[in-house]
Amino acid sequence: MPTDSHDSYENMLFNLDSAATKLGLKYDDYIALRYAERELTVSIPVEMDNGHIEVFTGYRVQHSGSRGPCKGGLRYSMDVDINIVRTLAALMTWKSAVVNIPYGGAKGAVCCDPSHLSKEELKRITRRYTAMILPLIGPEKDIPAPDINTNDEVMGWIMDTYSMFKGYSVPGVVTGKPLEIGGTLGRQEATGRGVVYIINDLAPLVGFSFKNAKVAIQGFGKVGSVLAQLLAHQGCKIIAICDISGGVYRESGLDIDELIHYVKNNPDQTIKGYKTSGISEFPKEEIFSFDVDLFIPAAKENQITAPIAKKLNTKIIAEAANGPTLVEADEILESRNIIVIPDILVSAGGLVVSYFEWVQNIQSLMWDENEVNELLMKIMKRAFYEVWTIHQQRGVTLRMAAYMLALDRVVKAKKIRGIFP
């Protein structure tokens, strides 16, 4: 067990070491993967709208470039530090390897609260952050993407800043950007769509039926809202949803299209204040209390602790968020025969379509949305059955099977390349 069960990096290392043991690897084979290749902390002085200067802290961590350029999102949040960013970068390495995309893992963050910043202040923060991390990023080195509290507009600012330094337009420096400057169709929905593809593959193998299945979702942002809509259209009853403002519940199922419309037009972009027939509200912490068939954490890391794992009443957990489950909780869930579809597999859809965007940028192509979605489904399905085969043959959890698949691929790449010098 990790020495600190609430340390996200310790949890990742525990899974890494366990996978290495099951693969029969020597410590020398993978020791380098227990560390990030590069970690950069930057100060970001910004002139605020009131004329005063504030200094923000930013991070960019590159975990491994053994299989290709590093890839990972950029989040704006007060709840970030170097350890969290380091963990998320490592998870991107494993995620890329599970779906066999030729990337390594990276992650970035700026410690700020976007809800207290104007659009112009956010733009200045983004441009200065980009300038500070400029030596690390580029289409062949490290490609940022949206994450919590960042979006296609922020990616556009990064692309423009980078391009101004280069003297020419470089759309491939980021993914998840607007269509007008080189984004791809299907990117906004990709993570949620990938989760649904994986659940579709799992369903017949474990006797799960979408029709009238009760679902609870933690998080109703870019991923949770898409997930809720897709699952509702497949016949699921989404009975409970929460976001940062609180939760809403209806036993007969929420009207997801109506809820999405409400959030889009709500000034604070949350579900707070949503009212309709049969709706009851609850504190966001109670999202784990409902009796459901499928529970989806689609918010932040470290949400499912041991006490939560003991009271969760669900058959399946699909980790649409990165690192939502602690190791000690994992063991409890396994003992209770709750199926956990791990983050590094089930939430990889956004990464896959980011790869498609990058490829289109490099080749100056534009794929149609059907082509994007069909290829996404093919890659997610292939990854699922590779993980499922290891799960069946080795008698390990789906998480351990995914880690074993990922680690094997990264270690082989490192061995082929060797150690420099």
| pLDDT tops 70 at residue 3 | no
**pLDDT digit string, tens, across residues 233-291:** 999 999 999 999 999 999 999 999 999 999 999 998 999 999 999 999 999 999 999 99
Q: Residue range 293-312: average pLDDT?
A: 96
Model confidence at 6, in pLDDT bands (50, 70, 90)? confident
Give the rounded percent of residues in the chain with a pLDDT score beyond 90. Answer: 98
- CA 52 vs CA 47, 100, 259, 288: distances in Å: 6, 47, 39, 43
Torsion angle, CA of 69/71/74/75, rounded to 10 degrees? -150
Produce one character per residue of 219-237: b if its CB has 16 or more CB atoms within 10 Å, e if not. bbbbbbbbbbbbbbeeebb
What pLDDT sits at residue 5? 63
Sequence-distant (6+) residues with CB within 8 A of 345 are 95, 98, 99, 198, 383, 384, 387, 398, 402
pLDDT at residue 198, as a whole number: 98
The whole model's pTM is what?
0.96
Count of CB atoms within 10 A of residue 265's CB?
8
* CATH number 3.40.1030.10 is the correct assignment for the domain at 34-174: no
Domain boundaries, the chain: 34-174, 190-346
What is the mean pLDDT of the segment spanning 120-139? 98
Beta bridge partners of 105: 64, 71
* Confidence bin at 166 (pLDDT 50/70/90): very high
Dump pLDDT digits (tens) for 221-247.
999 999 999 999 999 999 999 999 999
From the DSSP assignment, how many helices (H) and strands (E) are in the chain? Answer: 14, 12
What is the DSSP annotation of 215-254?
Answer: EEEE--STTHHHHHHHHHHTT-EEEEEEETTEEEE-TT--
Q: Crossing angle of helices 190-206/349-363, nearest 10°? A: 130
- Return the pLDDT at 126: 98
Domains 34-174 and 190-346 share a fold: yes
CATH architecture of 190-346: 3-Layer(aba) Sandwich (3.40)
Residue 55: the pLDDT is: 98
What residues are annotated to the active site?
A: 107
pLDDT (0 to 100) of residue 221: 93
